[in-house]
A and B are shown apart, each in its own frame.
Chain A
């Protein structure tokens, strides 16, 4: 008997909760945006600005590694816009006709930054001063599997440092780990994207790499072919490349 009463009380509360949910007066269009993890901060700041301008559109984000996101879209995960951190992942979708080719646009560019701990003096002030004499441990992304590691290797090879630094290079499985090693002072310096360096309050940018030392680090965006909201999706991409959108991107370390 007691159980039944508990059950009825539970049902009562559940119904009460359902009753309390406000009903949407206007039909809102929800855009699902699959975006590279490195864009997390800037997109969260951009969301209210965009939604103020377009009250009928609501943005939802799905953040992840670009490669995994591209794979998910190919497998049919619902998505209206894809914002990638690498051109090759966008190329994969284009080959499969999974994106609307004419909407593809490079909306941001990133730089490589040499970072050090704010509270720990280092012996280097530029990329070419890095050597096994000045730096004990240099934290970087693993060059074969982590995109930032691939660009890092290009830079170190361009400066003819790659071979001499073997044994001092600590390879990490993602950018976050590189930041952690420098933040805790275990690695003297590290190399990450400029936008990631700005996200951490405990590191300082010592130098940025010349853009011709590595392939351009472009962020392409495009509307996904399967979308049923292509008009709204195009509006969002246009906003990214607009003055306001670019301003926000610059603020977060993108070019």
Chain B
């Protein structure tokens, strides 16, 4: 009898993290697109940092920030009596931080490639900013946004290093698939490791495969529309 809890936990963590990453990513990418202000490149570099830092460094930073005595951690503890470290919420936070760059990058590219004249035309006809965003920018940028969404989900599913530091490894509570694999390999339980490797490869592969198929279909449809 295999314990399927790592699968459910991984899907829950990656799903919730993708939800927040999508909202934040789209918000900031849209806010920053076509704007020039002092410090923009500094903020964008900060956004991208988790992509190039070793996961253990990200994990250590988060641990310091969200730990019991950390800046955010002590605040959460005092006001809400809530501890992030060693809970599955910690895994969600780690996952959000490492997958945010992927979402931001895709969304920024998508918004920047839009034809500004479309949005301006809508504005001259009296549409509110929100309406311009929702009916024009968001829909036109959707293929790019979806790519970011799927990549963020896949990245969240595979997150290991930062998660191990922030959420710890507590069997039954914070054991995601990558953790189950790591500790199974380290302790020589090759059968268990292989089982989870097959599952995570299948999940990752089908996600990316679906994305490729979907975007190709969209490009073809776009070509036909313009023919």
* A residues lining the B interface (CB < 8 Å): 137, 139, 142, 144-146, 166-167, 169-173, 177, 180-181, 184-187
The listed residue (A173, A177, A180) touching B182 by CB distance below 8 A is A173
CB of A170 within 8 A of CB of B86, answer: yes
Q: What's the Cα separation between A166 and B67 when bound, in Å? A: 22
Q: 7 extra interchain contacts, Cβ-Cβ under 8 A, other than A169-B171, A170-B168, A185-B69?
A: A139-B168, A145-B183, A145-B186, A171-B170, A177-B164, A186-B67, A186-B83
CB of B67 within 8 A of CB of A184, answer: yes
Query: Nearest chain B CB to A31's CB is how many angstroms away?
Result: 31
In the complex, residue of chain B having the shortest beta-carbon distance to the beta carbon of A187: B86
Question: For residue A186, which residues in chain B have a CB less than 8 angstroms away from its CB?
Answer: 63, 67-68, 83, 85-86
CB of A166 within 8 A of CB of B171, answer: yes
User: What number of B residues sit within 8 Å (CB to CB) of A?
Assistant: 24
Question: For residue A144, which residues in chain B have a CB less than 8 angstroms away from its CB?
Answer: 183, 186-189
Binary interface profile of B, 161-198, with partner A (CB < 8 Å = 1, else 0)? 00011001111110000000011001111000000000
In the complex, residue of chain B having the shortest beta-carbon distance to the beta carbon of A150: B187
List B79-134 residues whose CB lies under 8 Å from chain A: 83, 85-86
The listed residue (A145, A171, A185) touching B171 by CB distance below 8 A is A171
- Chain A, interface SS category: loop
Question: For residue A171, which residues in chain B have a CB less than 8 angstroms away from its CB?
Answer: 168-171, 183
Question: For residue B187, which residues in chain A have a CB less than 8 angstroms away from its CB?
Answer: 142, 144-145
- Does B64 sit at the interface, judged by CB under 8 A? yes
CB of A184 within 8 A of CB of B69, answer: yes
In the complex, residue of chain B having the shortest beta-carbon distance to the beta carbon of A181: B168
CB of A172 within 8 A of CB of B170, answer: no
Give me 15 A-to-B residue pairs in the complex whose CB atoms sit less than 8 angstroms apart, sorted by A's number. Answer: A142-B169, A144-B183, A145-B183, A145-B186, A167-B170, A167-B172, A167-B173, A170-B168, A173-B164, A173-B182, A173-B183, A180-B63, A181-B168, A184-B70, A185-B68
Q: What's the Cα separation between A98 and B127 when bound, in Å? A: 80
Q: What's the Cα separation between A26 and B68 when bound, in Å? A: 57
Question: For residue B68, which residues in chain A have a CB less than 8 angstroms away from its CB?
Answer: 184-186
CB of A142 within 8 A of CB of B67, answer: no
Query: Nearest chain B CB to A180's CB is how many angstroms away?
Result: 7
Question: For residue A173, which residues in chain B have a CB less than 8 angstroms away from its CB?
Answer: 164, 169, 182-183, 186
Query: Nearest chain B CB to A234's CB is how many angstroms away?
Result: 34
Given A137-B86, A186-B86, is A170 in contact with B170 using a C-beta cutoff of 8 Å? yes
CB of A185 within 8 A of CB of B169, answer: no
In the complex, residue of chain B having the shortest beta-carbon distance to the beta carbon of A168: B170
Question: For residue B60, which residues in chain A have a CB less than 8 angstroms away from its CB?
Answer: 180
Binary interface profile of B, 54-72, with partner A (CB < 8 Å = 1, else 0)? 0000001001100111100
Query: Nearest chain B CB to A154's CB is how many angstroms away?
Result: 16
CB of B172 within 8 A of CB of A166, answer: yes
CB of B183 within 8 A of CB of A142, answer: yes
Question: For residue B170, which residues in chain A have a CB less than 8 angstroms away from its CB?
Answer: 167, 169-171
In the complex, residue of chain B having the shortest beta-carbon distance to the beta carbon of A143: B187
CB of A185 within 8 A of CB of B168, answer: no
Query: Nearest chain A CB to B126's CB is how many angstroms away?
Result: 54
Question: For residue A177, which residues in chain B have a CB less than 8 angstroms away from its CB?
Answer: 164-165
Query: Nearest chain B CB to A64's CB is how many angstroms away?
Result: 15
CB of A142 within 8 A of CB of B86, answer: no
Question: For residue B86, which residues in chain A have a CB less than 8 angstroms away from its CB?
Answer: 137, 170, 186-187
Which residue, B63, B68, B83, B182, has most C-beta atoms of chain A within 10 A?
A: B68
Given A166-B172, A167-B173, is A142 in contact with B186 using a C-beta cutoff of 8 Å? yes
Question: For residue B186, which residues in chain A have a CB less than 8 angstroms away from its CB?
Answer: 142, 144-146, 173
Question: For residue B67, which residues in chain A have a CB less than 8 angstroms away from its CB?
Answer: 184-186
Q: What's the Cα separation between A159 and B169 when bound, in Å? A: 23
Q: What's the Cα separation between A142 and B180 when bound, in Å? A: 12
Question: For residue A180, which residues in chain B have a CB less than 8 angstroms away from its CB?
Answer: 60, 63, 165
Q: What's the Cα separation between A142 and B185 when bound, in Å? A: 12
Q: What's the Cα separation between A177 and B167 when bound, in Å? A: 12
Q: What's the Cα separation between A201 and B9 when bound, in Å? A: 36
Query: Nearest chain B CB to A226's CB is how many angstroms away?
Result: 27
Query: Nearest chain B CB to A40's CB is how many angstroms away?
Result: 19
In the complex, residue of chain A having the shortest beta-carbon distance to the beta carbon of B85: A186
Given A144-B183, A184-B68, A185-B69, is A172 in contact with B169 using a C-beta cutoff of 8 Å? yes
In the complex, residue of chain B having the shortest beta-carbon distance to the beta carbon of A137: B86
Question: For residue A167, which residues in chain B have a CB less than 8 angstroms away from its CB?
Answer: 170, 172-173
Question: For residue A166, which residues in chain B have a CB less than 8 angstroms away from its CB?
Answer: 171-172
